[in-house]
Amino acid sequence: MKINILTLFPQYFETFKNTSMIAKAIKLGHLEINIIDFREFSKEKHKKVDDTVYGGGDGMLLQVEPIDLALASLPNSYKILVTPQGAVFNQKKAHELAKKQEITLVCGHYEGFDERVLAFVDEELSVGDFILTGGEIPAMLITEAISRLVPGVLRKGSHQNESFENDGLLDYPQYTKPAIYKGLAVPEVLLSGNHKLIQEWREKHAYLKTLKNRKDIIERIKKDEK
């Protein structure tokens, strides 16, 4: 899979590309990450990519032309604008995007994008209802979530019991050695060796954890079952 990231700050991604799972996936040939500085597509004398807002307002807005030209250089890519105005990215969307051969993420900055940029992308995605200085960190988040679903990147089946997979619940509580730490004990059922009881415990506590931390997920599941 190939992921292009259009950004004004390519240096943000140097460590990201060369660390942990992402670096290994690139080395093995399962993943290609192409970082593009869309400032290079500016026709302005000093490679300017932003300007004042028509109608007035604070801050500077990213111009449509440099982004359009950068996207035009990637004709076979599924193009995504990373913006607070987009649909919220989730695990279901990660699975959907992981099936594509090539995607492009466009990172915003300053006061955002000229609205006409939307004419040149396939969809908008947000990582949540909050504002960041730029789209670089959200682009990393989306890239990692998608990458770990690409065949060969992780050990087969290793992500299938994580939060938001299968039934959509949060992950069940997990423990490792020691069995008792400062009076806090691992639940006995997990030490029993009885796989049927362990599975039942995990299913129950995945539900309880979701009910405690994310009631919205329980409500959505109930709504979908109707």
Binding positions for S-adenosyl-L-methionine are 108, 127-132
The C-alpha angle with vertex 165 and arms to 124 and 126, in degrees rounded to 5, equals 15
Displacement of CA 81 from its chain's centroid (Å): 12
- Rounded to whole angstroms, how far apart are CA atoms 15 and 105? 18
- Rounded to whole angstroms, how far apart are CA atoms 224 and 226? 6
Reading the block at residue 111, the tokens are 């006061």
Contacts of 66 (CB under 8 A, 6+ apart): 38, 39, 41, 42, 43, 49
Question: Which 8-state DSSP code applies to residue 119?
Answer: G
**Residue that the structure tokens 């026709």 belong to:** 43
Q: How many CB atoms lie within 10 A of CB 218?
A: 15
Q: Are 140 and 94 contacting, i.e. CB atoms less than 8 angstroms apart?
A: no
Reading the block at residue 170, the tokens are 């949060």
Annotated binding site, which residues?
108, 127-132
Question: Which 8-state DSSP code applies to residue 127?
Answer: S
Identify the bridge partners of residue 107 per DSSP, sorted by sequence position.
82
- Rounded to whole angstroms, how far apart are CA atoms 17 and 30? 13
